[in-house]
Structure 1
Amino acid sequence: MEINPLDAIEATESAPKAAKLSWLNPAVAITVALLATFMGICKVKDDNIVQAMQQAQADKVDHWAFFQARNIREEIAKSTLVQLRLQALTVPEQHQAAYQAQISVYESLAKDQAQKKEELKVLAEKDQTTYDALNFHDDQFDLSDALIAIAISLLAVASLTQLGWLYALSLVPSAFGVLMGLSGLAGWRIHPDALIRLLS
């Protein structure tokens, strides 16, 4: 068996490089494990937020539907009230009391429906406010997921290519992804509006 001296030289030259980057694969593995764990925690919170958003949206639709129903009832009561008042002008004196009693009933009904309609409007607007507040945090978690996914992709390439600078580069989206995830978990008001609008 012949030994090629060039092979020995190449092996000797590549040995320091391999030893120098021996930290890379363990660092990538630990970083990916930490990011995946953090993503899992954020996913649980984000799913709960999405469920709350769906509930707020359903409540808003229900309240606006009831608002419209109350509005229709109010309009019908007002229309009936107008008819009763006009008819009261033409009926004999002995029937006036009955007409006045019905007029009072429909005045009270119209007033009641108007009041309940305004209460429903306030509830529907509150539902929209709740939805917007939840959506703010949902955006934070979405951005966190995207940034951490980019970081994990860069980490995979860094591990394959054994490029230390690529590992360092992957820490940038990792840091921003963790920041956005922590913002969603802790309720911080960090929200890159321009980026969110671009991705929406």
Structure 2
Amino acid sequence: MEITEVVDIAGEASHAASLNRRVAVTVALLATFMGVCKVKDDNIVQGMQQAQADKIDHWSYYQARNVREEVAAATATQLKLAALARPAAEQGAYADAVKKYEALAADQKVKKEQVRAQAEQDQKAYDASNYRDDQFDLSDALLAIAISLLAITTLTGQRWLYWVAMAPTAIGVFFGVAGLAGLPFHPSWIMGLLS
């Protein structure tokens, strides 16, 4: 073996070791970043689940209030009609009962609208959280692709593949930071394709 061959082999081994170190550091940094994003994303998902449960509860309360309102209104109507067939001496008792049920119907209508507003606010909270959850989901997917490309880089020793892996890395980190910081960058068109 000639000296130039030994130098070439040593140089290639040095380049491969350098590339492997670079890949290892990059993967370690990406895994750490993904871990931080995962904690935040899990907290957001818990908030989304709570908002969804609250919305369901509030719409159920809305329906209950609606039924109560309808029953009270129907009862008031029935009492009004029944009063027509009763003697004048009994009309006062019917009028009092009608007022009571009309007041109950009006009260339920107000409470029903309050609950409806709460349910709509729950939906807005869910949508706002989902916006950020999408950012973390895209970040996670892109960083997983980048780590896969980095693994192939180590296996093949192709330096150019490392730089190809930096494209999904940069975009993935961008969306992860956007999710962490609450920045208004949403991958609507990509999420539309994936949903």
Give the shorter-chain TM-score range: over 0.9
CA–CA separation in structure 1 for the residues paired with 2:8 and 2:180: 49
Moved segments of 4+, more than 2 Å: 8-22
Q: Does 1:19 align with 2:10?
A: no
Percent identity over the alignment is 56
CA–CA separation in structure 2 for the residues paired with 1:80 and 1:27: 78
2:129 corresponding residue in structure 1: 134
Q: Indicate which of 105, 114, 120 corresponds to 1:110.
A: 105
1:31 corresponding residue in structure 2: 26
Amino acid at match of 1:150: I
SS at match of 1:190: coil
Amino acid at match of 1:115: V
Please list every run of 5 or more consecutive structure 2 residues that lacks an aligned counterpart in the other structure.
Answer: none
2:43 corresponding residue in structure 1: 48
Q: Indicate which of 54, 62, 66 corresponds to 2:61.
A: 66
Cα RMSD for the two superposed structures: 1.4
Q: Does 1:187 align with 2:182?
A: yes
SS at match of 2:43: helix
Give the number of equivalent residue pairs. 195
> Normalised by the size of structure 1, how large is the TM-score?
0.93
1:78 corresponding residue in structure 2: 73
Please list every run of 5 or more consecutive structure 1 residues that lacks an aligned counterpart in the other structure.
Answer: none
CA–CA separation in structure 2 for the residues paired with 1:147 and 1:19: 30
Structure-to-structure mapping, 1:117-196, within 5 angstroms: 117-196=112-191
CA–CA separation in structure 1 for the residues paired with 2:121 and 2:95: 39
Amino acid at match of 2:87: P
> Cα offset for 1:13?
3.6
SS at match of 2:46: helix
The one-character-per-residue Cα deviations of 1:116-139 (angstroms, maximum 9, x if unpaired) are 011111000000010000000000
The one-character-per-residue Cα deviations of 1:27-68 (angstroms, maximum 9, x if unpaired) are 111100100000000000000000000000000000000000
> Normalised by the size of structure 2, how large is the TM-score?
0.96
Q: Indicate which of 173, 191, 198 corresponds to 2:193.
A: 198
> Cα offset for 1:192?
1.6
